[in-house]
A and B are shown apart, each in its own frame.
Chain A
């Protein structure tokens, strides 16, 4: 239970989230409207750039 608690309290490294979301992504893409998906993609892209920059600079965060 501690692992699940850590996951949902955002207390694990970012790479742990990535490996758990393949199914969620496919499910979202098959049920959510394309307009909403486009907005989600844009927001994700901004967050991805931030995450990549933090990683490249060696700034760890949870």
Chain B
């Protein structure tokens, strides 16, 4: 990565809601806002080095698994924005299927379908389709909860670890594991 390329992706504090790098396709432009800038920048050029002025490096608040997968797909497709959207939407589909399976364990197939439908129409569900890691996190969280329902504790721990690599809230799986351990 050249210095010029790195500068192209530099965060502009005065314009946190604008994408400052090379323009995405017009169809995707409205989806590249706020945190998406950080994830795409990390996917393209990794985490930035410590600032010389001692100021905060905001990118370190964004967990690595999603940008890692985006970077891997980008290495094949050579289209960062599309890679980010493809990864997010693929995990959205997986998450919806897992929520369906999870709902089914609490009742009928119909209950599973209601759970998946509620998940997909929740007022924040547009984030599942954006260059954000929400769908990936939801998929790992649902997989962990499903594993716990089946009392596959080791598998749940692995999914919990993956969720924790995606977002800080993944630590909630540890609370679930402790609850299950306490029940036994």
A residues touching B (Cβ–Cβ < 8 Å)? Answer: 13-23, 25-30, 34, 37, 40-41, 44-45, 47-48, 50-52, 55-58, 60
Contact = CB atoms under 8 A, between A and B. Distances in A.
Given A19-B167, A30-B106, A55-B126, 4 more contacts: A18-B125, A19-B169, A21-B122, A58-B18
B103 A26 contact: yes
A34 B127 contact: no
Chain B interface size band reads 35 or more
B70 interface: no
A60 B124 CA distance: 13
Contacts of B31: 55-56
22 contacts: A15-B134, A18-B124, A18-B138, A19-B169, A20-B169, A22-B95, A22-B119, A26-B115, A26-B145, A29-B103, A29-B112, A29-B114, A34-B114, A44-B118, A44-B121, A47-B123, A48-B126, A51-B124, A55-B31, A55-B130, A56-B31, A58-B33
B66 interface: no
B134 to A, nearest CB: 5
Chain B, interface SS category: helix
A24 to B, nearest CB: 9
Interface in B91-123: 95, 99, 102-103, 106-107, 110-112, 114-115, 117-119, 121-123
